Amino acid sequence: MASDQKPTRNSAAKKSKKPGKLVTPKKTTVNDKSNRRSRLTKGKRPKSEIFKRLFYWAAVTGVWAFIALFLTFLFLAHDLPDLDNLPPPGAGDTAVVVKAANGATLVRYGPVYGDFLKYNQIPDSMIQAIVSVEDKRFFGHNGFDARGFTRAVYDNIMAGGIRAGGSTLTQQLAKNMFLTSEQNFTRKARELLLAFWLEQKFTKQEILTLYLNRVYFGGGAYGIDAASRKFFGQSASRLTVSQSAMLAGLVKAPSRLAPHINPVGAWDRGKIVLTLLADDGKITDDAADRLKTRPPRIVAPVTGQDIRYFTDWINTRINRLIKAKGQSVIVHTTLDPGTQAAAAAALSHGLSGEGVTRKASQGAIIAMDPGGAVQAMVGGENYGRSQFNRAVDAKRQPGSTFKLFTYLAALEGGMKSAKKFTDEAIDIDGYKPGNYDGEFHGRMSAREAFTRSINTIAVQIGETVGQEKIVEMAKRLGIKSPLQPITSLPLGTEEVSVLDLNGAFASIANGGHKVDPYAIIEITSLSGQVLYRKPRARLEPVLVRKHAEEMAEMLEQVIIAGSGKNARIDRPAAGKTGTTQNYRDALFAGFTSDLVATVWVGNDDDTPMNRVTGGGLPARIWADFMLEAHAGAPVRPILSDAGLYRAMGEDER
């Protein structure tokens, strides 16, 4: 069959071949080789040209990298501090030092710096300890420890997170003196740059001296001297090896390891430092093992944590009294450490004993002299667990302690304490008050009704004198809470603060003069400049003397023969019990010739206690406190001239 396809070149070639004939290969000429080489190398450059181009681009990259590095340096360095004028320790920081009436320091708010120690004043044990734990190669590097940094990176990678730091002591000093703790590249770069500058500017000894005098050790203490005085009660120039090891160990986590808060954790870290000292050959293994069994003694604070209720209250009042804001000050107060200790002990004993079985979890106690100078304040069961000050900030129903104002308003309105009333069931527009014992006791005088805390008669007196008069009397004697003139007001159903209530009782104790509770006597700058001084008190009568005397006699009978028998002490005293509905609050407020005190117990969530009345647990706490607070004081009748002198801000003449 004929085909219309043309034969291909291959097919033609095949046809041209004769069977059995060998094909001789064509010879390759010199020109052919040259053409082949040119074809193979077509599109490729000689090696020398490649190296030239690599060198060129490397040079260009280097120039631009240098320019970028130079610009980065200028950016980081444009606002670096002047190393010729280093800020002194504490510059820019403000502190508040609160002192007791006897001059003892109660607390320091803000950073605290001790004496600046020179290098030759710092014990060698402290030098070796801080270098061993924080920067082993400190005396060999130039501000940056590449080996330590690499090791820290490796440790962090193996740990799966940030577990180790690579900063040298010089870098830490740069950060502490000039920078914030902000974690970013810019801050870290500035820190490194400052570290290099510090190394060029100062010797290693000078850098270490600056570091140890500024680093934070916890508890508000900056520098080894402040830390040594706070934790060990001595100058840092006298540090022992074990004390040095503990302090050096605190730098890693000062807030968590501060010995006054976490002594066990602080010493565990200190033992690690002792091991490092032994590994570095600074002490022997035997010495390290022996020292690990002898932890340093941590000095106890002058006062317990309970003092913080008072000092926190003080701290909130400073700016109201001085105009010089933002400067460090010393605040001289009226608090008496012995009276404070007695108050704290009495409240703690009562709540941890009877309070547990009676389901009374919280309490407060405040004491002042008849002039209003606060000598003790405990605002709760435990400051560490709750900083809420129940002596000042809580508003609770005062119960029958409020009858003080009801009877004073009635006496001022002309009622005689001998006037007879009938204790019986009453109904005032649906309000039906009852007595604590659930019974009615018939005819009795107003004086007896007050002594026995009869509710029905107090309500009757309130209706007679008028609720508005009672409100006015309470306000006159210092109650600042809003009060409604309701029928139940005489029984203390409106809320007040313990501080205000105690001030009102102080007005009786001083013979009828106004009391504004106070605690700040003077505020000075650290250099001694007086910024505030309490003005001399002016006697301002709020009651007629005879009414104050009559009320004091009635209050005295409450303790002698009435609902406050558990408050009896070894001297004349006067007071009043208070219990609210369903036993949610229980109070005792009273005074002697020298001291006025109020005790409150209850629960923060307002749950009822187990039948706690003002004449029970609060009265017993009050008596325990008063007995201790008056130890060694002369016995005087209530409303003696001592109370009047205190009201004038003077000691007994």
Contact predicate 137/147, CB 8 Å: yes
Q: Is the pLDDT of residue 193 over 80?
A: no
Tell me the average pLDDT across 184-188.
52
- For 305-359, the pLDDT digits (tens) are 789 999 999 998 998 898 766 788 999 999 999 999 999 999 999 999 999 999 9
pLDDT digits (tens, 9 = 90+) for 360-385: 999 999 999 999 999 999 999 998 78
The rounded percent of the chain whose pLDDT value lies above 70 is: 78
Read off the pLDDT of residues 198-231 as tens digits, 9 standing for 90 and up: 777 788 898 899 889 988 998 888 899 999 999 9
In angstroms, the CA 153 to CA 171 distance is 17
* H-run or E-run covering 64: helix 47-77
* C-beta atoms surrounding 530 within 10 Å: 10
The tokens of 132 are what?
Answer: 């061993």
Please give the average per-residue pLDDT across 133-159, as a whole number. Answer: 63
Q: Can you give the pLDDT at residue 167?
A: 80
User: pLDDT band for position 176 (50/70/90)?
Assistant: confident
Q: How far is CA 224 from CA 18, 105, 126, 235, 432, in A?
A: 109, 20, 9, 9, 68
| Three-class secondary structure of residue 480 per DSSP | coil
Give the percent of the chain with pLDDT over 90: 60
Give all domains of the chain, ordered by start, each with its CATH number.
Answer: 111-291 (1.10.3810.10)
Residues whose CB is less than 8 angstroms from the CB of residue 611 and which lie 6 or more positions away in sequence, other chains included: 358, 583
Is the pLDDT at 477 greater than 80? The verdict is: yes
Q: Which pLDDT score is estimated for 1?
A: 39
pLDDT for residue 256 is more than 60? yes
The structure tokens 């001998």 sit at 418
Query: 102: pLDDT confidence band, cut at 50, 70 and 90?
Result: very high
Distance of CA 444 to the CA centre of its chain: 53
Tokens for 565? Answer: 């028998």
**Tell me, what DSSP letter sits at residue 510?**
T
Q: What is the pLDDT of residues 223-253, one digit of tens each?
A: 999 999 999 999 999 999 999 999 999 998 9
Residue 14: predicted pLDDT: 39
Which segment of 2-11, 86-95, 470-479, 605-614 scores lowest on mean pLDDT?
2-11
- The token pair at 482 is 């809003």
For residue 15, pLDDT over 50 is answered with no
Q: Which of 136-145, 212-221, 470-479 has the highest mean pLDDT?
A: 470-479
Indicate whether 641 pLDDT > 60.
Answer: yes
Pairwise CA distance, residues 18 & 11, whole Å: 13
513: DSSP letter: B
Among 56-70, 324-338, 386-400, the least confident range = 56-70
pLDDT of 526 over the 90 cut? no
Split at pLDDT 50, 70, 90, the class of 119 is very high
Does pLDDT of 16 surpass 70?
no
Give the integer Cα–Cα distance in Å for 283 and 292.
Answer: 12
Triad 583, 585, 588: Cα angle to 5°: 115
Tell me the C-alpha distance between 461 and 471, whole Å: 14
Residue range 535-548: mean pLDDT, rounded? 91
Tens of pLDDT, residue by residue over 422-465, are 999 999 999 999 998 899 999 999 999 999 999 999 999 999 99
Per-residue model confidence (pLDDT) at position 475: 98
pLDDT of residue 417 exceeding 70: yes
Selection from 647, 376, 619 nearest residue 508 by Cα:
647
Res. 173 pLDDT band, cuts 50 70 90: confident
> What pLDDT, on the 0 to 100 scale, is given for residue 74?
46
Q: What does the mean pLDDT of the chain come to? A: 84
Q: Which structure tokens are listed for 546?
A: 């005879």
Three state DSSP letters for 525-544? ECCCCEEEECCCCCCCECCC
Contact 461, 421 (CB under 8 A): yes
pLDDT at 472 over 60: yes
Contact 259, 247 (CB under 8 A): no
B/e letters for 327-340, b = 16+ CB within 10 Å, e = fewer, are: ebbbbbbbbbbbbb
Confidence of residue 531 (pLDDT cuts 50, 70, 90): very high
- CA dist 431 and 442 (Å) reads 19
- The residues that bridge with 431 in the sheet, in sequence order, are 428
Q: Whole-angstrom Cα distance, residue 489 to residue 478?
A: 16
Q: How far apart are the C-alpha atoms of 123 and 238, rounded to whole Å?
A: 7
3-state SS string for 437-476 = CCCCCEEEEHHHHHHHCCHHHHHHHHHHHCHHHHHHHHHH
Residue type for 157, please?
A: I
The 3-state DSSP class for residue 39 equals helix
Look-up of token digits 């301002």: 540
Burial 192-204, CB ≥16 within 10 A → b, else e? bbbbebbbeebeb
The whole-angstrom separation of Cα 232 and Cα 218 is: 13
Question: What sign does the CA torsion over 301, 392, 406, 477 have?
Answer: positive
Is residue 3 very low, low, confident or very high in pLDDT (cuts 50, 70, 90)?
very low
Q: Where are the alpha helices (DSSP H) in 322-424?
A: 337-352, 354-357, 403-412
**Terminal C-alpha separation, the chain:** 153
Q: What single-letter DSSP state applies at residue 494?
A: S
DSSP-derived secondary structure letter, 592: -
In the chain, the largest separation of any two C-alpha atoms, in whole Å, equals 160
Tens of pLDDT along 271-298?
A: 999 999 999 999 999 999 999 999 999 9
Residue recorded with tokens 């709760």: 380
Query: For residue 157, what are its two tokens?
Result: 């990678």
- The pLDDT score that the predictor gives to residue 384 is 76
Q: Following DSSP, what letter does each residue of 211-269 receive, concatenated?
A: HHTT-EEETTEESHHHHHHHHHSS-GGG--HHHHHHHHHHTTSHHHH-TTT-HHHHHHH
- 3-class DSSP state of 496: strand
Report pLDDT digits (tens) over 485-501.
Answer: 999 999 999 999 999 99
- Asked whether residue 644 carries a pLDDT value surpassing 70, the answer given is no
**Shortest CA distance to 170 belongs to which of 148, 153, 152?**
148
Model confidence, pTM: 0.71
Decide if pLDDT at 476 tops 70. Answer: yes
